[in-house]
Chain A
Amino acid sequence: MTPKTETELAAAIAAATGPLHITGGGTRPIGNPVRGTTLSTAKLNGIILYEPGALTMVVQAGTPVADIEKALAKENQRLAFEPMDHRPLLGTKGTPTIGGIVAANVSGPRRVAVGACRDHMLGVRFVDGRGTIIKNGGRVMKNVTGYDLVKLLSGSYGTLGVLSEVSLKVLPRPDCSATITTAIDDDSRAVAAMSAALGSPFEVTGASHDPATGQTHLRIEGFAGSVAYRSDKMSALMAPFGIVRVTDNTQDSEAIWVAIRDVTAFADQQGDVWRLSLKPSDAHGVVAGLSKMGALYDWGGGLVWVLTTAGHNLRAELGDASGHATLIRASAETRAALPAFHPENATVTALSAGLRAKFDPRAILNSGVMG
């Protein structure tokens, strides 16, 4: 089913007699396997409102991300949360949609500085499991009118409702980008270096470490003079950690971060891919204790991508570290055997189940995708 309007979407859900598999562009098959009739939002397509002076955009959920980025680029603006393109890593084809990004709360390297996708969400319209159209939030930057279902829907993988429209906070695209790369062999020193950088006043908008190459990357963005000044400061701050190299050509710098964002290092390698959210200073200790074929640090150590042999239960090796592990890429058998999402405490599990039962009483929306 590919409804063309929100009304058609609501009617389709109300009339559904069995489980539905909700999809946008189908480029992010993350989560436990889902059965059901495919319901695609791809035809809910178009930018409804864009006010560059107010930093806001309202779009239909099925709008291709590329269309949004093109419209923003014309006004020298962007989606600051830097959503990852999962296609290289997951080997998927198709057109990523904004609804998919919001449903999976997809956020890239800049998340460490400006927040996640959910932090740039101003409003939603969605259809719940009964076929009721619900709106929440709006299109203004500050809004505390009623409960924040906008955050709840972001990252709910279609299980509470099918998004029909989202409104986003957008931000100016800076003129320049520079990357400060430091040669650091030891993961623990790399995390310490990233903490020093993120704890400085020089507004680092990316902090990533690749153990395979022994390189720690830091990103600085802004107006030319400011970027030059802060790059110098950052180089001086990093000098005690290793040999420093600066990529001050904006295009070259941006290319480094596209690769980090899309985890292209693991794209052509066999094996499962896990995504760990950790307290940065715990990260190297946790990673050292894992059976793995590779690791990649982002968010200053707050996010670690791990490559393992197929079918390996990485979660069992985490111990009691604060954080969680999500299985992002694995074969169908592994995904059927290992839950994609990290188990939560009993109260949170009960509350989540209670919310799903309220929003989708027939359990027909992407049922079981999050466990």
Chain B
Amino acid sequence: MDMPIPDAKIIAKKASVVERLQAVLPLNAVIHEDRQVKAYECDALVAYKCPPLCAVLPTSTAEVAAVLRVCHEMGVPVVPRGSGTSLAGGALPTADCVILGVARLNGVIETNYDDRFIRVQSGRTNLSVTGAVEANGFFYAPDPSSQLACAIAGNIAMNSGGAHCLKYGVTTNNLLGVTMVMMDGTITEIGGAHMGAAGLDLLGLICGSEGQLGVVTEATLRILPKPEGARPVLMGFDDNEVAGACVADIIKAGVLPVAIEFMDRPCIEATEKFANAGYPMCEALLIVEVEGSEAEIDEQLGMILKIARKHKPVELREAKDADEAARIWLGRKSAFGAMGQINDYMCLDGTIPVSSLPLVLRRIGELSKQYGLGVGNVFHAGDGNMHPLILYDANKPGDLELCEAMGADILKLCVEVGGCLTGEHGVGIEKRDLMNVQFAPSDLEAQMAVKDVFDPAWLLNPAKVFPLGASETRRIAAK
């Protein structure tokens, strides 16, 4: 994965950049010593590392604005960072950039149960947003797997999803307003506790813009009353195709489960060894969860089980109590860890129309043989968001490149069947050079024109999202 050649002139003036940042920030908020900046050299896409020029950890919106003003004046690129859990390299630094971490902005500003919102600083972790409201019977719906660690700032940047978005939507559907700092240091409010925009929907544009349009420091989030209860059911099938057909039939019947998760045989085998959840050994496994009162859950699960039986499952397991429900989820929740026990892996997140599921799984199996790399599939089947995990050995020369080539083939396949490169992880650097597969030059031009408006000097996270070749003239012209 190429990154632009760092600007030697900026690296040469590191001392003055650090000095000016120190002048506008509290004592320990500028991290600049070589051994310390190493902590910011990568995010969760650990295959790529590069220590930044320095990192700053401001504690207020005003300090974020001061940092951006300094960097804007000095022409220094800024890479915003939430908790650094991006799987796409969204927070990967360049040697000539300042990492702007929002980790110290982690407070709750307001909770309002009558109007059903919470306002938080953007460095607050996803799970602790729910933590702040659950005693009052509420929760924040988007639930990415990294929710224990990931920050709301990163969730907004990547428009994060999760297992339950079939019913509750992703970040953009649960975001009401933000305080955002523009690259030139201007602080602006967009949206608020009310619904809808007065004019153009800039909030919808900012969400998912990968930290390229501004730095969000506060967010107003929709909170929802917790359902009375939830219960999962586990189904095993002898054939991927049959499992896929079962998913489509459940959706067509008018039941809208909160989650439909899918695991294939390699993944089931790995998780069984790792977590010992007691899963049946079969070709495909579905976990379907519904919500409501006991009686409502019975009614919905009754319909779902009736549909499932028509597809001749090898196993049907309904959770009788909380303990059994936890066991059903155990394997799914430890799937990534289990695959990591076997080897290094690369996690993709292409999304496909649900109807293409059998074809795509078959083709992934063929690619696995062709490349000689193992693949496990675990994903959100209700919305077609796949998570193929390609196994490789990071210590074996050439294996990463082989894995990336296979990943690219899988993502091209996703686009070919009418899907997209990324459903919830973002483009970052990982899928940047594949954007041409999904978009025509004029499509990318329209998106880059948006960045021109928000960040004319192309200083915010400039080497991400767009193929380097496509963004080059802009990045150079801005210097």
* Interface residues of A, Cβ cutoff 8 Å to B: 51-56, 75-76, 105, 107, 111-112, 115-116, 118-119, 128, 132-136, 138-152, 154-156, 160, 171-175, 192, 195, 198-201, 222-223, 225-226, 229, 277-281, 299, 302-303, 322-324, 326, 341-345, 347-349, 351-352, 354-355, 358-359, 370-371
Whether B165 pairs with A142 at a CB distance below 8 angstroms is yes
Query: In the complex, which of the residues A119, A152, A174, A303 contacts B200, with contact meaning CB atoms closer than 8 Å?
Result: A152
B20-28, B101-109, B113-121, B339-347 - the one binding chain A: B113-121
Among residues of A, the one whose C-beta sits closest to the C-beta of B225 is: A201
Complex-state Cα separation, A56 to B189, whole angstroms? 34
Q: Closest chain A residue to B382 by CB distance?
A: A141
CA distance A330 to B443 in the complex (A): 38
Pairwise interchain contact B353-A143, C-beta atoms closer than 8 A: no
Q: What is the 8 Å Cβ interface bit string for chain B, positions 91-112, against chain A (1 contact, 0 not)?
A: 0000000000000000000001
Q: Knowing A76-B254, A195-B114, say if A141 contacts B385 (CB, 8 Å).
A: yes
A363 to chain B, nearest CB (A): 15
Which residues in window 244-258 of B have CB below 8 A to A?
247-249, 251-256
**Residue B380 at the A interface, CB < 8 A?**
yes
Task: Give chain B residues whose Cβ lies under 8 Å from the Cβ of A75.
Answer: 252
The docked-state distance in angstroms from the alpha carbon of A222 to that of B227 is 15
Decide: B419 and A138 in contact? CB cutoff 8 A.
yes
CB distance A229 to B296 under 8 Å? yes
Q: How far is the CA of A175 from the CA of B170 in the complex (A)?
A: 26
A147-B205 CB under 8 A given contacts A53-B354, A140-B384, A324-B198: yes
**B197 at the A interface (CB under 8 A):** yes
Least Cβ distance of A119 to chain B in Å?
A: 5
- Chain B residue contacts of A152, Cβ below 8 A: 200-202, 204-205, 450
A147 touches B208 (CB 8 A): yes
Contacts of B295 in A (CB 8 A): 225-226, 229
Bound together, the chains give a CA A105 to CA B423 distance in angstroms of: 23
A119: B residues at CB distance < 8 A: 169, 172-173
Q: How many cross-chain pairs have Cβ atoms below 8 Å apart between A and B?
A: 259
Task: Tell me the smallest distance from the CB of B468 to a CB of chain A, in Å.
Answer: 15
B150 in contact (CB, < 8 A): no
> Across the interface, which residues of A come within 8 angstroms of B182, CB to CB?
347
Instruction: Name which residue of chain A comes closest to B411, CB basis.
Output: A145
Instruction: Scan residues 212-251 of chain B and give those whose CB is less than 8 A from a CB of chain A.
Output: 225-228, 247-249, 251
Provide the residues of chain B in CB contact with A111, threshold 8 Å.
195
Q: Does B465 contact A (CB under 8 A)?
A: yes
- Min Cβ gap A304→B in Å is 11
Partner of B228, one of A139, A201, A299, A322: A201
Question: B245: shortest Cβ distance to chain A, in Å?
Answer: 9
Question: Once the chains bind, are B201 and A54 in contact (CB under 8 Å)?
Answer: no
The residue on B at minimum CB distance from A53 is: B248
Is the Cβ of B158 less than 8 Å from the Cβ of A229?
Answer: no
CA separation between A174 and B303, bound complex, in Å?
Answer: 14
Contact among A145, A222, A326 for B427, CB-based, below 8 A: A145
The interface residues of chain A lying within 8 Å CB-to-CB of B225 are 198-201
**From A142, A201, A323, contact of B192 by CB (8 A):** A323
Q: Which 8 A-B pairs have the closest CB atoms?
A: A151-B204, A53-B248, A142-B423, A324-B198, A141-B383, A172-B254, A354-B453, A347-B188
> In the assembled complex, which residues on chain A have CB atoms less than 8 Å from the CB atom of B449?
358-359
Give A278 to B465 CA distance when docked, in angstroms.
35
Q: Are A54 and B202 in contact (CB under 8 A)?
A: no
